[in-house]
Amino acid sequence: MQKAVCLILILSLLLGSPVLAATKSIGKDKVNLRTGPGLDYSIIFQAPLGYPVHIKCEKGKWLNLVDWYGNKGWVYRPLVSDVKTAVVLVVNANIRCAPSTADKVVKTAHRGEIYRVLDERSKWVKVGYYHEGTPIGWIQSDLVFGE
């Protein structure tokens, strides 16, 4: 067992440290997602500020990621933020004052809207406005990507 752990550590140091399935967000507006790890690769699309992504691996200063549509691409590492965000996956989702379906709805969120993740509890995510971080309420975690 110790040999296996040592081998994994050595391989990760030699090949670059994997950041498998880490959830991050895009840290600037209109960031290019590319087909490969470099400026010579074509642009797949531009992601907005706060766009949540799951990091699959890294190569040098480039991160390979997947978004809520299942799109895969590469982004220059300095353009990715540690701010946790979530995007709404369904047409309409209730944001509630507390993490329970019995609690009052305080806002209806719509597909594609991005919120800052402030807290997580069981199957609920507390969200707020991205820039101010002002809390809004709780949304069920299966209705968002990025938590």
pLDDT for 133: 85
Report how many domains make up the chain: 2
- Per-residue pLDDT at 31 exceeds 70: yes
pLDDT for res 114: 97
Mean pLDDT across 2-9:
38
Total-model pTM: 0.82
Q: Are residues 93 and 60 in the same domain?
A: no
**What angle (nearest 5°) sits at the alpha carbon of residue 78, between those of residues 11 and 8?**
10
- Residue ending a domain, among 34, 53, 82, is 82
112 closest CA partner among 127, 91, 83: 91
Helix (H, G, I), strand (E, B) or coil at 25: strand
In order of 30, 102, 124, 126, the CA distances from 99 in angstroms are 33, 9, 6, 8
Comparing 7-11, 62-66, 74-78, which segment has the lowest mean pLDDT? Answer: 7-11
Same domain, 46 and 94: no
Least confident range from 10-14, 24-28, 45-49, 93-97: namely: 10-14
Q: What is the pLDDT of residue 21?
A: 60
